Amino acid sequence: MSEAATDFAHDVDWAAFATALGDVPVLTEPPLVKQKSRDFYWYSPILKAQLRKKFADIVAVPRTEADVVKVAATCAQWRVPLTVRGAGTGNYGQAMPLFGGVILDMTALDRIKWLKDGVVAVEAGKKLIDLEGETRPQGWELRMYGSTRRTATIGGFIAGGSGGIGSIMYGVLADRGAINALRLVTCEEEPRIVELRGDEVMKASHAYGCNGIITELEIPLAPAWPWLDCIAVFDDFMASARFCQALGEGDGIVKREIAAVEWPLPQYFKPIRDVLPDGKHAVLLMIAAPSLDAYAALLAEHGGTEVYRKTEAEVEESGLPPIYEYTWNHTTLQVLKTDRTITYLQTLFAPGDNLEKVAHMREVFGEEVPLHLEFVRLHGRIGCFGLQIVRYTTPERLDEIIRYHDDNGCPVFNPHTYVLEDGGMKEIDYGQVDLKREADPHGLLNPGKMRGWEEAR
């Protein structure tokens, strides 16, 4: 994406711009602006090299939807790029401003509007942990959340995430019914409020904030369960994967998380290292208390040994991180804490022959790509995503590994690109591009990220 291809304002007087925003709070101190211009892009050695010099010019911190409208209108009038930010935990450089401009920090929009009959209407900047903190006492919890639950916002999860803890029961965010409605502010001289409902929500969910600023969401919830964090270990990795598959398919057992982690990766889980025996493969689990006996019986059948079990209260009391902070992209983070030379993949092992494909990749790549599998429900069947660790050597070798997976029926959602479509299904979603044409006619929202739009230009 060349800078010459854009028609953004140059030589903006940022002090005058801040004045034009009226009483909307702004941050202008360079260290703060730099800090709010970062996300977890550095997970990828490729993105690290591409994006490390990308910074915004100013941060706006709206308190209300009216503030969001003011910022969007001013950006449209001044032709200034606007990148929306939740907590900045995205790991594809999604929230990194490629062309400078404004970062719109949504974290002050954090009110629950209403909660009734298992549906919550909530402002986009609410943290996932705080949202559940308010719904669980009323008997409801999120159907799914990212392992960044303690920091990420609900708006950022819907705009940038895909699924996570809970996906083993409820599928992924892209499934019909996962989101009931979104309320958006457009980026025009006179911004409009647009409400998307039903299938229409897909136009703006997982769109990296390229085609509207989500201010409010209506999310269906699940009945809340008392959860236990459990870890089981196995001598044989494929035996652990077969147990995970059977547990996923065990409809009578209520669970929230099933991850299989190949040795030597468990040795990087510092806070719980003492319960993880050398050489053993670990299975990380969240099981509902009423299902413990059934889970234990299944585990015994598969030859696994439980080495850790804690209630939510015990986890809190112990000061240990919750089990979900070793799962999904947190597994990669735990390894990165010790070894900055590794990177990772995000691979689909679709239901059906998923375990055969896992075994094949294990044989082909061995210690170069240690396995980490997240089991999920996909269109009613159980498959798994591989968030494998890669012992990184060169960009060419990384490409080769990705290509081998792609060519052998295991598509990789490439985490080494900031381009929306290339990190996903590699297909342009014309519904998303059409919404951008209407909601962002000047192409100011998170520019450079949506290939369908850039190509249409």
Residues near ligand FAD (CB under 6 A): 39-40, 83-91, 94-95, 106, 124, 146-148, 152-153, 155-157, 159-164, 208-209, 213-214, 328-330, 333, 446
170 versus 328: smaller Cβ distance to ligand FAD: 328
Q: Taking the complex as a whole, how short is the minimal distance between the CB of residue 279 and ligand FAD, in angstroms?
A: 26
Q: Which residues contact 252 (CB under 8 A, 6 or more apart)?
A: 291, 294
Please identify, using beta-carbon distances, which residue of 18 and 87 lies nearer to ligand FAD: 87
- Of the pair 21, 122, the CB lying nearest ligand FAD is at 122
Closer residue to ligand FAD (CB): 280 or 325: 325
Q: Which two tokens stand for residue 134?
A: 């308010």
Q: Cβ of residue 90: shortest distance to ligand FAD, in angstroms?
A: 3
Least distance (Å) between residue 54 CB and ligand FAD = 13
Residue type, 283: V
Which lies closer to ligand FAD via its Cβ, residue 90 or residue 304? 90
280 vs 442 by CB, closer to ligand FAD: 442
Work out how close the CB of 407 gets to ligand FAD at its nearest, in angstroms, rounded to a whole number.
26
> Shortest gap between Cβ of 11 and ligand FAD (angstroms)?
25
At 138, give phi and psi (nearest 5°).
-100, 10
Per DSSP, 206 falls in state: T
Nearer to ligand FAD, 96 or 299 (CB): 96
Q: Which helix (H) or strand (E) holds 45?
A: helix 45-51
Q: Which two tokens stand for residue 11?
A: 């030589």
Beta-strand ranges (E) seen in 281-433 are: 281-288, 305-311, 342-344, 347-349, 372-378, 381-386, 389-391
Q: Closest by alpha carbon to 260, among 346, 384, 379, 91?
A: 384
Smallest distance, ligand FAD to C-beta of residue 56, A = 12
Phi-psi region of 430 (alpha: psi -120 to 50; beta: other; left: phi over 0): alpha
- Shortest distance (Å) from residue 161 CB to ligand FAD: 3
The angle that helices 237-249 and 354-365 make with each other, rounded to 10 degrees, is 160
Is 155 or 171 the residue whose CB approaches ligand FAD more closely?
Answer: 155
Contact 240, 234 (CB under 8 A): yes
Tell me the residue nearest to ligand FAD as measured from the CB.
156
The nearer residue to ligand FAD, 174 or 292, going by C-beta atoms, is: 174
- CA distances (Å), 45 to each of 55, 93, 344, 385, 398, in order? 18, 12, 10, 21, 10
Nearest C-alpha neighbor of 446 from the set 20, 124, 37, 87: 37
User: Residues 370, 344: contact at Cβ < 8 Å?
Assistant: no
Q: Least distance in Å: CB of 182 to ligand FAD?
A: 9
Q: Is 210 left (phi over 0), alpha (psi -120 to 50) or beta?
A: alpha
In whole angstroms, how close is the CB of 209 to ligand FAD at the nearest point?
A: 3
